[in-house]
Amino acid sequence: MNRREALKLGMAAAAGSVAMPFVSRSGLAAEPIKLGSLLDGSGALGLEGKRMIETTEYAVEILNKAGGLLGRPIQLIAYDTQSTMQLYTQYAQQLALKDKVDVIQGGITSASREAIRPIFGRSKTLYFYNTQYEGGVCDRNVFCTGSTPAQTVNHIVDYALKNWGKKAYIIAADYNYGHITASWMTKFMKDGGGSVAGTDFFPLDVTNFSSAIGRIQQAQPDLVLSALVGANHSGFYRQWDAAGMKAKIPLASSVFGLGDELTTMDTSTTDGIVTCYGWYNNLDTPASKAFVSGMQAKFGADVTDLSELDTATYEGIMFWAEGVKKAGSVERDKVIAALESGISIESPTGKVTMDGATHHTIRNTYLARPKNRKWEMLATFPDSFPADTGGACDLLKNPRMNKQFTPDLKG
């Protein structure tokens, strides 16, 4: 059974049991610590979400096999949000107010994060957002483990300016992730002496990009920068290749390859698209290989499409666990203080440190492109700092700050 067939079966099963959470219980006898999970196991983001759900189960299992935390088992309470904002808010309230979980790990899109973040702020439920995203969230109740444009998009743009030219065309998803990431792309292009010929935004349900390809052809850029998201938007890459544009104008993306693109698309479509993430599934280190083999041992040999979304999910749970251990408590304020002290973990991605001021991770990032269904590494950027806010986000000095910083394009 391939991944898409498995997903269809999962969606069918979910249709009959959507209101019921998945609850994993350990054999440990003490009162459990409750970990809530909100991820899209079905719908438009189900392909990405399924692996993140599996990673969550894997990480909780590792912790429970090691004795849990503080001598207590971890109970996983997980809801399939089905790529629907209404279910995100519904299940967020369920986890915080009825299930009374000790921590939430979840959200994929930035829109889902912003739908549930205020709920957890009001309920004072600690929240980890474990997705590569547009950056800038500055909120004491939230910790973000995914890479940000200051760690990734800047390297993509720098590579493009050095190797392809100075004139870019930007295409992006039409919601906060796409808009803010497009602004970062524009800023980095201008900072490097380049320009942007045009920017197009597309709702997540758009599947036909012929008119957009026509506009790009007319603009004649040196390169295209993409922040398209999800299964529907993956059609752009096939249509770009079919139009004969792949060989004419090079392409880089802030999202491509986080799903199953390398296993389901032709190499003529995928090869050469430049990306930058905090992890790739063929990263040649013992810790990376151990993560991949562990996931395959639990979920099957067909788990070949793991991405940063999965390692960031793993890191979110492990950072929380280290915070609980250091605090000696699951109480929110004590765990936050422990995490703000500069905790580091050894992860499949390398050494990762939680930056106390921004609640984001200092990490390695990697520049790579697909080649014959594998990632070809182009460069490594050690200890990349997470935020480009000029120090404006400092939750140690200003713990009441609650906003999202965006790039200044006026300069």
| Span 134-179, pLDDT tens digits | 999 999 999 999 999 999 999 999 999 999 999 999 999 999 999 9
Segment 276-317, tens digit of pLDDT = 999 999 999 999 999 999 999 999 999 999 999 999 999 999
- The whole-number pLDDT of residue 391 equals 73
Contacts of 65 (CB under 8 A, 6+ apart): none
Question: Which two tokens mark 131?
Answer: 């997705």
Q: Which domains does the chain have, with CATH numbers?
A: 33-148+283-363+389-398 (3.40.50.2300), 151-277 (3.40.50.2300)
Residue 342 has pLDDT above 70, yes or no: yes
User: Where would I find the beta strands (DSSP E) of 114-209?
Assistant: 126-129, 137-139, 142-144, 167-173, 195-202
Percent of the chain clearing pLDDT 70 (strictly above): 92
Span 333-345, average pLDDT = 97
Q: Is 400 exposed, middle or buried (0-12, 13-18, 19+ CB in 10 A)?
A: exposed
Question: Of 23-37, 87-101, 137-151, which gets the smallest average pLDDT?
Answer: 23-37
- The whole-number pLDDT of residue 21 equals 58
Cα 113 from Cα 116, distance rounded (Å): 5
Q: Is the pTM of this model over 0.75?
A: yes
Segment 99-110, tens digit of pLDDT = 999 999 999 999
Strands 275-277 and 360-371: antiparallel
Span 219-237, average pLDDT = 94
Cα 227 from Cα 256, distance rounded (Å): 8
Residue 12 has pLDDT above 70, yes or no: no
